[in-house]
Structure formats: structure tokens, C-alpha cells
Structure 1
């Protein structure tokens, strides 16, 4: 059966509404919209098993930030984007305890480099607090880990993070990864945060072991940026928008080789948004303003 691929809870809800032209209320799911720092934010809460089955995602809270206007470079666009990501994350995570931030993905492959690049903008403090407790007493302990990918390390990300967490003993883990979107317009224009953990590689159909509370023993929060669109999903949407009466779903999935579509300037977009996410994490975890982050990270 042909399934339009997306990692975004917002889009999974849209697909449910589109299926069989459903107009009834989706049981087990609650959605609310608001605007923060000038950017639209949609919160999708999956409340029970009915919501899980309808959207194919675990019970939890999913926040989707629309950063489309980020690329218009209006006044304070970067600072406002950092604050909206930081506020969303701060509303999800516990207020105290050491944090481990995991950058999932492959730095050598640009659309998959969101996780590793984000860690370049994270203020790492765990070792500083240990070495100079008086000077850094006001900081929250934060450590980072670039997990790599199974094809280059031979180790599942979940295995590596589990072993490290046993030594570091974080109160929570934040996992950052690239995602797949159903719509081209949301590629590098959306950030999704969730309190349900993450399955690395799910966006490109390469499912690995999950990173969540069940597998790691501590709460796991995810932050993702969609950087690709599944080609078959894109083709199906374009045909439907063009008024095609029937879409040959079997033909769209006939090729055994998955094809993903990404913008031609993906390197610049991933670099800029990864910095937004990194600074947003700092904003949520530390009592710092953006100018102070710049000074400490320089």
C-alpha cells in the first residue's frame, strides 16, 4: 500500500484529514495554533491509543515551528527564531539535572548533517563545572555526543548512546536529527520538537533502534529539521494538485531504490538552521542571552 512519507506529526494529521475526505474530529488527537516571536507554532498532542493508530506516532506532545519567514531576513529574525525554539524546548524538558545532547546523522552528507552541525553551537559545560565549580556554578551541566551512523561506525546510535548515558548519567537526553517532510515548502522551513524520543533514519525509510525512555532509561526529547522530501510522495502530491483523477500508486513505488529530493542550497540552509537549533538549546538550558552565547562560543 502506498503511504506518503513524513516525520512531522502536523503532516500526519493533515494526511489523516485528507484520507477519504474525512471532516470529522480526529479522536485521541488535540491540535492548537499560536504565534510566538512572529513565527507560527502548532502543537499536536496525541492523547491515547486512538491517536497513535490514526497518526502512526506514539502518545506525546509535538510542536511544529514554521520558520518560513526566517529566510526573509527581517529585523531580529535570528534572535526571534532562537527564542521561539528555546521557549518550545524549555516548556518540554525538566528544569534541572544534567543534559546529554546527541547529534544524530552523517556530517559528510549535507542533508543528514543537522545533528552534528547543531552540536557545534552547543555550550558544553559538564567538564567546566567539574574543573571550576565556583566560576561555573550557575550553569547547567551539558555534554554532547556525535553518534555517527551505522554504516561508518558499525554501532547502532541507540547502543552508543545507551553506553555513554550509563557513564554520564544524564537526567534527560536531547536528540537532534534531520527529518523528512511531505511538503517541499516545509523543507528547511520547519522545526519539530517532541517529548517522545526519535527513531534515527526513519525519515528515509532506514529505521534503526529507537532512542526513547524505554531504550535509554531517561526522558528523551527530539528536535528535527526536515531536509528532504520522498520523491514518490512529492510526485503523488503534484499529480493530485494537477487534478489527476487517478494516481498509479504501484508505479510510484516501483523502483526499489528510494529517491529523496532536497534544495540545491541545502548546505547553507542546514548550516543556518542548525545554528538556530543549537542556540535554542542553549537558551532553554542556560540563563544566557544570545550575545553571551556568542562570546562563550567564539
Structure 2
């Protein structure tokens, strides 16, 4: 199989000991329940939920419906304490379009940590939220996991939400799915450039990963040379902008359920 970050592609829909699969029309959940199953399928033990959406290359017919569907799934992964502080991290390279989902999404996260001691009579109480985009090691010389670990000590008493671009094995998954999991993430793993993982083990608090597949691998042969290539849709600029907006609003909705869609749109516009 070609490289993929999607559990639904890596784990077949047949019975696997220690794996539970639940599928509806638009939501596919894989739960890896044992260490033996994790080793067998090559994915960390945990829960992976993939939400199908309209192609991000196009304008959706029900934008807020998609936002709510993703938000509802994400809410199931959040800590039980609704007041627990959250750090949102946008992984990726802002200058490379297929890798820019994380940095673009973070720009529209409603950050509220600095408002915790300020009374806002027009709004209900807000969860403490911080947001950062640490860049990539080639830009900063610092592993994202090390950067996030230091900030999480200060800002993430509840959990860290990491947003990243993913790789898919099947072309039809590109920009039509959003995967949410509670196992964290290894940046770059889907394209063979794996960096240090961001997980509860390395960061110290639960890490929820939210990813959108933007690239897929295809074989390429020229004369005597054979090598894989990563490809992405022609409309990637528009699609990544749309994906980032959708994901960021879904995260905002999940973190601030007392705010309406109009209020959230106004606060992050």
C-alpha cells in the first residue's frame, strides 16, 4: 500500500483481533484496543474517526452543517472538564501550500487565555485557549515537539489540539475527509519525513490530532529510474484555504459551545 496517515485506509474493513470498526454514512471510526493490534496494523493504540465532507476544492452546499459535524466528533475527544485550558497547534510550512492547513487554521482560532481575567458582559464565559504555529524544523532548527512541550507546560492544562496536513493512499480521500484521533501525530510521517511525535507521552497532556489529507503518492518511472512522487490537486490553493477555515471553525465550536455561529464568525473574522 502507498503511504497513508488515514487509519481507515491502513486498516481493512474485515475482522482484526483487537480492532473495532464503526461506520455510518459520513463518519468512520477505528478503535485499536490492544498493543498487539497496534503492532499488527502499524498504528498506535487509540481512536481514529474520519469525517467525510464535500470536496474542499468546491464551495459546499451546507458549510455550517459540515462544521457542526466535525465539531460534534471533536467534542467527543475533548477532556471532560469544560474549563480545562487548551493549546491549539498548527503544524506545517506556511510557504508550501499543501502543507499550510495547520498554519492557516491557527490564524482563525479564537484565542482567549489573555481574556480570562476580563469581564465580557456581552459573551458567556470562555474556555482558556492559546494557539501557535511553530513552523518546521527546516525554518527554525527546532523540533515541533520540543517547541510544543515547552509551551504546553504553561498553556495546556487540558489538552493539545494539533492541526496538520496528511497523506492519503487513495485519490478520492484527498480534501474530502477530516481525521480526528487521540493518539497524537508524527509530523511528516505520511510523506516519509517523520519527525519526533507529538503525543501524550512526549508532551505530558492528551494530544488530539486533526488532519486533512492534501497529497497522495504515485509511482513514477523514467528509463531505469523508479521513484514515488507526491501529487496534489490543481485547485490546492483554494482547497487548503477552505479546509483551514472549516477546521478552525469546527475547533472553535467544540471549544466554545456557548457561542453561536454568528458570534464565532464575528470574533475570528
Same fold (TM over 0.5): yes
Whole-angstrom CA distance in 1 between matches of 2:53 and 2:146: 33
Pairs within 5 Å for 1:1-298: 3-14=1-12, 25-35=15-25, 40-68=26-54, 73=59, 75=61, 77-95=62-80, 96=82, 97-130=84-117, 132-133=118-119, 135=121, 138-232=125-219, 254-255=226-227, 259-286=229-256, 287-298=258-269
TM superposition score normalised by structure 2: 0.92
Rg larger for: 1
Is the contact between residue 86 and residue 155 of structure 2 (CA under 8 Å) also seen in structure 1?
no
Q: Give the match's secondary structure for 2:211.
A: strand
Question: Aligned Cα RMSD in Å?
Answer: 2.1
Q: CA 1:55–1:124 in structure 2 vs 1: closer, same or farther (change >3 Å)?
A: same
Gaps of 5+ in 1: 18-23, 236-247
Is the contact between residue 9 and residue 55 of structure 1 (CA under 8 Å) also seen in structure 2?
no
Gaps of 5+ in 2: none
Whole-angstrom CA distance in 2 between matches of 1:283 and 1:182: 30
TM superposition score normalised by structure 1: 0.83
Is the contact between residue 129 and residue 137 of structure 1 (CA under 8 Å) also seen in structure 2?
no
Whole-angstrom CA distance in 2 between matches of 1:169 and 1:108: 27
Q: Which has the higher helix share?
A: 1
Is the contact between residue 57 and residue 175 of structure 2 (CA under 8 Å) also seen in structure 1?
no
